[in-house]
Amino acid sequence: MVASYKSSDREFEAGQDLFSLGKPCDSIYNLTEGWVILYNLLEDGRRQILHFALPGAVLGFHPGDSAMMTYGAQALTDVTVSSIPHKALLPIVKQQPEFGLRLAWLIARDCSLAFDRLTSIGRHSASKRVAHLLLKLFIRYRAQWPGNQIEEMHLPLTQEDIGDATGLTSVHVNRVLGDLRKDGIVKFHYRRLQIINPDKLIDVARIDPQLVLSWIR
C-alpha cells in the first residue's frame, strides 16, 4: 500500500530504533520485512512492549507536524521498511483518497489488536496472558499466507520479550511456558513456536473463536 508512494526503502538491523520515544518522526514506515516492537519505558528503566508489528504494518503516523513520539519502535529482527515523509501525505491523500482510507484501516486494525491485548494484560491470569499473546502472534503470522496450515513458526522473541509484553517476569514466563508444554498445548524452544493443540490454547487464552477469525481477516 505505502510502497506505491514511497520515497525510499530503509533497512534496520535488529536492536536499532526506527524512531525513538520523545523524539520527532518525520516519516511513516510501511514494514515490508521483519518484526518490530513498539515500546515505552518506565521511570525505573523497565520496558513495556505495546505491540508487535508484522509485515504490512504502518508505523510512525502521528497527528501534527512536529509531534514527539509517545512510544519507540525497535527492530526485533533485521527489517526493511518503505518510507513516506509526513509532509507528502496530504498531497497524496488529496490525489488518492483511497490511500487515506487504507491508511486509516491499517491504523484502526493495529489499535484494535493493541486494545484487545491491553484487556488481556489487565484482566487475565499469567497463563491466559501468555497463551493469548502466543495465539495472536501465531494467527497473525499464519494469516500472511492464506491457506497455509502451518503448525510451527519462527517466533523471534525471548522470554524477556514475552514478559515485557505481558507484564510478567522472565521466571514467571518460563513457568507458564513449562506448564503449557507439559499439558501438550505448545512448545517454545530456541525461538520456534509449535502449536500442538490449538483448541486447548484458545481455551486457556479464554478467547472467543469468532475473535480469532476476525484477526485472520
Look at residues 185, 73, 71 and name the one whose alpha carbon lies nearest to residue 138.
Answer: 185
Which residue range forms the structural domain that includes residue 151?
125-216
- pTM for the model: 0.85
Cα–Cα distance for residue pair 56/77, rounded to 1 Å = 15
- Most confident range (mean pLDDT) of 44-53, 58-67, 138-147 is 44-53
**Which has more confidence, 122 or 34?**
34
Residue 100: what pLDDT?
A: 83
Asked if 6 and 109 sit in the same domain, the reply is yes
Classify residue 84: in a domain, yes or no: yes
Asked if 47 and 139 sit in the same domain, the reply is no
Q: Which three cell numbers stand for residue 207?
A: 478467547
Q: Which three cell numbers stand for residue 98?
A: 483511497
Asked if 94 and 147 sit in the same domain, the reply is no
State yes or no: pLDDT of 217 exceeds 60: no
CATH of the domain at 38: 2.60.120.10
DSSP class per residue in 93-147 = HHH-HHHHHHHHHHHHHHHHHHHHHHHHHHHS-HHHHHHHHHHHHHHHHHTTSTT
Asked if 59 and 136 sit in the same domain, the reply is no
